[in-house]
Chain A
Amino acid sequence: SQQGEEDPQALSIQEGENATMNCSYKTSINNLQWYRQNSGRGLVHLILIRSNEREKHSGRLRVTLDTSKKSSSLLITASRAADTASYFCATDGGGSEKLVFGKGTKLTVNP
């Protein structure tokens, strides 16, 4: 069954605002990853957070992981129009060979 479920499904904000997307999953994991997909393109890796980590930063991105609640959040600070894309979380299902992706959050940043 599908592991990650992103929330909200769609998010529209103004440039300069922060965007927060959430991901919930069902089983134990070794790591959780966030990817971005621009329209008509392939997915691009953003951040990988391991199950023993609680927070990770990369530039304007901040990812948190709460394994007790089986949830993660992706925060994009000071958003830009170029951040407009779909964002997916993916989990490894606790050591399975595959990543399972959620349905994604479609983020629109209005200039």
Chain B
Amino acid sequence: DTAVSQTPKYLVTQMGNDKSIKCEQNLGHDTMYWYKQDSKKFLKIMFSYNNKELIINETVPNRFSPKSPDKAHLNLHINSLELGDSAVYFCASSHRGSEDTQYFGPGTRLTVL
């Protein structure tokens, strides 16, 4: 069983489109995250949710909107995609936030043309 899963694995789309990435964890964790990894492999946190509540919102354009329908899911919706949004997006989860190990999904490679 996959602990943290993301769909889709690859996403190729045109500039200006709206797209969503889904994430699910079956570890029973309270905290979930979205990270962006750029072409230089720099990994930066975007959002964190704890029990469906937003607790971290880094300086991310408001074209990015996370949604957590329940504790096990954290989806990322991106409006009006731009070329600079091309990156690999990782979902992760942990039991208690930064005190604990984070478990990462396999990533979604987003390419905006």
Contact = CB atoms under 8 A, between A and B. Distances in A.
B103 A99 contact: no
A108 to B, nearest CB: 14
Tier of interface size on chain B: 20 to 34
B29 to A, nearest CB: 13
A100 B101 contact: no
Nearest to B107: A42
A42 B45 contact: no
Interface string B11-53: 0000000000000000000000100000011111100101000
B106 A30 contact: no
Given A33-B101, A44-B104, A48-B101, A100 B45 contact: yes
Contacts, number: 62
A98 B50 CA distance: 12
Interface of A: 30-31, 33, 35, 37, 40-45, 48, 86, 88, 92-93, 95-101, 103-104, 106
27 contacts: A31-B98, A31-B99, A35-B104, A37-B41, A41-B106, A42-B4, A42-B92, A42-B105, A43-B102, A44-B104, A45-B102, A48-B101, A86-B41, A93-B98, A96-B98, A97-B48, A97-B50, A97-B97, A98-B48, A98-B56, A98-B58, A98-B97, A99-B98, A100-B45, A101-B44, A103-B41, A104-B41
